[in-house]
Structure 1
Amino acid sequence: MLKKIPLRIRFTLVASLFLLVSCVTLTLLSNMSAVHMMEAVALLPSMKDGSTPILQLEPAQPVEEPYYQVFQQKTTVATILIVLAGSIATYFAAGYVLKPIRDLSCEVQKRNVENLGTPIELPQSADEVRQLTISFNQMMEDLQRSFLLQKEFSANAAHELRTPLAIMRAKLDVFMLSENENPETQKMIDAMSQQLERLSKLIEDLLWFSKDLPLEKKTRVMLYPLFCDVAEELSSVAKEKEIEIQIQQTNEFVLGQDRLLERVFYNLLENAVKYSPPQTQVSVTVQRERDFLRIQVIDQGEGIPEVCRSAVFEPFFRVDKSRSRAIGGNGLGLAVCKKILERHHASIAVRPNHPNGSIFEVIFPS
């Protein structure tokens, strides 16, 4: 139960409990001392035949009882006030003591993939918080180095694979030009061509994902012509499955690089077509809101389970691995989309399309 309470509140509760126990104990001891004192006062002197006075125990005077009640009330009130004042002082003292930890937590929350290499400023105090900050900066530096090595490896591997892949593609094209009526040979050539195409797309996605994709210069990108060009490129795939691509006519535009944005919507539309059943519809809508522009790519496929809707934008994630491999997906397309959109200060999310399918929603700030 206490573990779910913030550290500052926990510290205040523990200190308040300590104050309460201490004050109650002190109050009980004070009351016991007061009782003994009143009993001693009740021992009155008496004389017998002019002899030496002796002490004789007589009943306490009734007038003394109200004084004892007043004493009890005052000690109780004092106990409550001391505990209350101590709790308030402890709360603010805990806030002052824990401020370096709170500042460190805020700085840690600001760190992401883009600024891992930016170290957190060290506090002036030479305490545990300073040592924790040094350890965190070291961890972030190692993590940044690991990310850079991973990106460099992906880019170098993709570049190195391009050359032998191009040679294989050229050899296969030459072989396809030769007259060969053997159906088994033709079947093998078609299979090799399909796998080469799949490998080429994987390498291209790896290159896109490993790039930093800087925005050299933003220009107006008209959305309707962009969507039409992408739909034209995918027309043969859509025609094979008898899928209709509907694009809402619009005069809206966004600021960015058309080459990068074309890649985004090509990936989104390609996924919508590939994962939709035959004889269905894929539509693209554009809606201008007060502070942003909403673009939706809507399909009528199987949809994405709720638990996977945030993970689909992670590299190499697949909702259904066997189905993705059969269709030819490599798990990088949506990750590339997210990366490019982040460069444009835009966001992407997926929602269900009732009764069937998914809605990929892209939000551009105004």
Structure 2
Amino acid sequence: MNIIAPAPRFTLSKKIILEQYRKVKEVADIVAFSSKTNPKVSPLIEAETDGLLSVHMPNELKHTKDMSRVLFLAQAWTPEMIRELYEKGIRSFAVDNEFDLDTLLSTVDDTDWMITLLLRLKLKEHSIRTERYFVFGMSSDTINKRIAQLKGNKNIEKLGVHFHRKTQNVNEWKIQPEIEDALTEGTLEAIDILNIGGGLPSEYANTNVDVINGIFRRISELREWLHEKNIKLMIEPGRFISAPAGKLVSHITGVYDNNIIVNASVYNSDMDAILVPVKLRIEGEVGNDSGEPYVVKGCTPCSMDLFRYRVYLKDEPKIGDELVFINAGAYNFWSNFCDLEEIVTEIID
């Protein structure tokens, strides 16, 4: 008899989202949830917290009602776009290059607008040069020069510096010495906000998050140092807030030669597995001394459609069984590869 498996689905826990938000708020003055991480979380942050929403694209704004809660991170914009964003109610902006900065300044110069403006600093990343990543931001010399020019600008209510490192950042949290080296005393006296971006890690099968307590301690120390200079600390967590709140509930459609096939694909549920790559943990998985090893493969013909290369399970998997991936609430966007459809998300508790 053929078994027709229920469609895969995501669940997203409102309770866990708020718990994770509170953890971050304990060490930061301003929390701006990175909406691109999971736009379905954004309305919950807006409704249930005092947090801001970090937004990169105008398309993302459909998830937000109160545009005054948006920090818009610009890239290659025009005066028309700036005016449109301001008319929508957005008052906080971050720019990562002088062209975009000058476009903004020339647009607001003959207005009575008041904005919050953050300039993105290019900090060195201590990682292998793979030529895979675009490097955002302006040099420290440029930041220091432009902050001095912008201090006292009639259109700028609050002025700040922003930087950001790549996702799952577990090694680069000695921020204070780098900031002291990059920013002059004059810059530190002129700014109101330091936005340290995101990068707070979350737990996956191939990552070590034992360092999280140390990271939070360093952020607290940075905040104390900034407060001595009357600077507020902003942070833009996305993965840390949304990942633990999400589960992907799939069903097994095939088992052979220690291979498990599920009715979902990394291409419509876990693009992180290819792009970062991080591998989702599975509910009920055990150590290699307690179970049998399995490969967990997605439903498409692509050899990279691989959730886990090896996972140990205690119970023998059978067709029709549920297979639940945990910590699955971040970057679970989908592609139309093989005409895959978006998986429905259910908000719970």
Q: TM-score if structure 2 supplies the norm length? A: 0.23
Q: TM-score if structure 1 supplies the norm length? A: 0.22
Q: Between the two structures, name the one with larger relative contact order (CA 8 Å, sep ≥ 6).
A: 2
